[in-house]
Structure 1
């Protein structure tokens, strides 16, 4: 394994000194990747960044996870269009975590992998004084949330940053939905809704079998174990709850007590052995999944839904996992925000050719529609609108549709900006804690029946 990994990476690199960001990082940013079991870890490195050292240190246990990660990094380095220049030094000893903490080979730890250990990885990194850029979810159980609270307290004490990767904030239709919801002449004000008829609905459909960076994605076997990956109720919902907060209360500080989960449920997605083999390469279900197998079919608690009240606004979030998308399709997102004058709806089905489209619904005031679209031109030139029956479809130039994988670079660029200034926006940390607290409420309530 070690020799094979060495064949995939560049020359051995000298370790770099760790620098504290108490007043912002002024020198090069040096990345450390810790136990990269999820493909999101590699997407952080899909592009190069100004001021980021191309030398990256990886600390991980031996196994397929780190090997697959390095194949993706090498693929980025060797592609014809915009090849990257990453050089990697790998340590795969059984003491990879204490070794990482001791070596101090960089100043930012990127964490995206097995979520059963993520909260501990984050807390250990913060105790050692590192900055952390963590993939979602940062917590999958209530005990994880307690570790996360400790980690944020340490970040404040040490002057370091802890940030999770919220890519959906960079999807153009979500951005425009947020912008238009703040145009009172068009949208009015956000309705309050009720538990039975929420003012905000966000629904996401994901797939176990998919294409990433142009190739079929090989999933780790543990990805199908909710004790390691986390249930759908605590995973993808991080994006949905984040969007509710970000859109309904833009740049406002929220507290955990602002959110009250009213109902929650979870359900399973069946996975056949043939499907499992297609995505993992494994010929049999591993022992740690045997308790989830019935009549030869693996049942994964990948689906979840909950309704909650955030301050005085009612919202519903829902996530569903299917094995694979229909022909020509992919992961999909549905979202509606209901205002007193109009509703803003994102749809991404077959009628939209599986591409997200934002619609303005429930208004006959064409002047208000066109005025609102005109007000976007200074920030998003070229955005337009067209009639679509009784509603309006917002038209978006191709330059804004960069795709999900490119959103990881946008999040990272944002994080680097914060890193150099030495601080996050004042609302980010309390809102991250509110987000995970909300999700943990749903997690517990879904088990109450």
Structure 2
């Protein structure tokens, strides 16, 4: 029997709090789960710094990746014997679903911003490079790693396959909304996934939804909207991300100024110089990163030491509403006052902005073209979701942005009550 068709002697299952059970029968999938690169995802949190806001949010990219695999497995099971579905794409879909987040680094997006990295590029490198994952995929056939990479990179020729993992209603979103809601303890991310899976239909270029499932899709989109503003963009989580980002910036700045660290930051050196190899990238997970943060709490540099202490012991910055577009004069004055007060404004005066576009229709030619969700009519015609749903139409194409100013209020409060600098800072911040 060919390796691609090989089944385990008995089905393996993972107990899962969201999907109850995750089923694995394919030898290829089981072998991929056992690779070092996939096991590394246990050491990367799914929600980055959100555990400092929601104490249950300790789940990992490993949990989520298995969940996306399970949803795709169930979708394919429903597609079996339907028109437009090619059963030969099954293993490709399952592999891409399982491996789609393989390249995430510690604390994911915050880490990427500081070092100007792209986790998707590292996902491609893991799939195509000298890795255990690549070795397993090549056992299917020599071109299989490239096919999986193309699906994740959204360049695979069969757009239906791509849409299962990357679209406005894909397995990735359906898992993280429910999983993140479960582990943060909120109710916003819940929707009727069972109903959505039942009304999904494969078309030539994408998955569509039977019109009778429109209300389940409305619920899904509103769940996503609420999760972004109540969980993903929570201001306390953003405060932790600000401090995390500033720690990494400070460590890089100190390295570039030839500062003598008490413990040489070996795992970060290639990131400071901007050229990490794949093996160096994979060696830096959140366990290693937190070890350095705890070590840096004892550094001589007061900024690095203080920031690490804040992050490790959850002594976060406070925040106020602040729009840099309309309050530039106040920002410039605060910058000078912070310097005068001995608080480096590059590290202790931070504006953070978050924005989200919950649903969009097709806008050809734009940088990120979003394929809309289509509803399949009884006469087999397709209608774009917002044309039929008043709820979705009301939020379509509407980008919401939120600005916050983050400051170490405790340090300001420690200043003498007679300080004119402190008084003026407080006037600007709180009126």
Q: TM-score range by the shorter chain?
A: under 0.3
The structure richer in strand per residue is 1
Normalized against structure 2, the TM-score is what? 0.26
Normalized against structure 1, the TM-score is what? 0.25
The structure richer in helix per residue is 2
Higher RCO structure, 1 or 2 (CA under 8 Å, sep 6+): 1
